[in-house]
Structure 1
């Protein structure tokens, strides 16, 4: 994706933390010569060689998997908080804009066997159930329920390129206090952008 230099996030540890916190992404590949996208959790992990990978699965009813290729590159899109920024919050006249955080991950994909699919499901469920009042565990589900694993295709993506954008009104630092104040008055997305702006200011 196109990222102006001032909005590029090249802090790899920060980007990895973002991917772990915003793992519900979009897998994009070609199906019959056309772009095809599926919204799924794509979990950041490492393979047996210590390489960064994304792990997930999709339904066998989804035709996207039938054209998976180990030689073709796929794209995974991850979105963070975003919000409209009104130029009425600026000290000087300017056009409005949009603040956002997004990461694009490119890589090569290979299908994994059922044992690895089950292992990835254990990790996925344990991650998201840890704060549940009555957490569910894959280990406790009946064989009948777990037969549903036959209906999915698991895969891992070896990461080749990461492009990370973090557009938080850079270059308008003198306007940040007002922008943050106004964002905090709006919806949860806007408040999250305000928090990210505050965090970025404090970590510099």
Structure 2
């Protein structure tokens, strides 16, 4: 199904494991303006603040490299005649937090005024370090709350750039656009199935039982 209207899609990207892989996260903005250099720098600063908040910092295997703003048509493709704008950091941001498992991500849920159903929720899968957890295997409630606060500040910073409100775009008929009004974080770390399937499995030699 088509999107309700044209908009900008912002992606923040980086690499991992000595440039063997790439990662990216994104937000859709309810606007069509072409960003200038200052606005790209502000988008970059918003992500840097999120990744250095002291809560869910990047693991040392990952680098954050920059961001991109692309105009998206109602068909979900790059808008014909539109110009995407890229911003590469002069110095990559290298992670320094305790490394986590490569297929695990921390999910930031973007909430709207809709309590459920279409247009109520968006998700961002952040590369994750090892987070404090409790005996039942959940990350600490205080950690989840702190990440949610950092995520809300990130969305607010993106909105302040002036390229449109960060929003959830639903393509379920009839399509709609709902601005993000809050952020929440679950206490169960998420497994990225696609990432897990991309990891080549290797096994040790068979260890025979002692005679």
TM exceeding 0.5: no
Q: More helix by proportion, 1 or 2?
A: 1
Larger of the two Rg values belongs to structure? 1
For normalisation by structure 1, the TM-score amounts to: 0.30
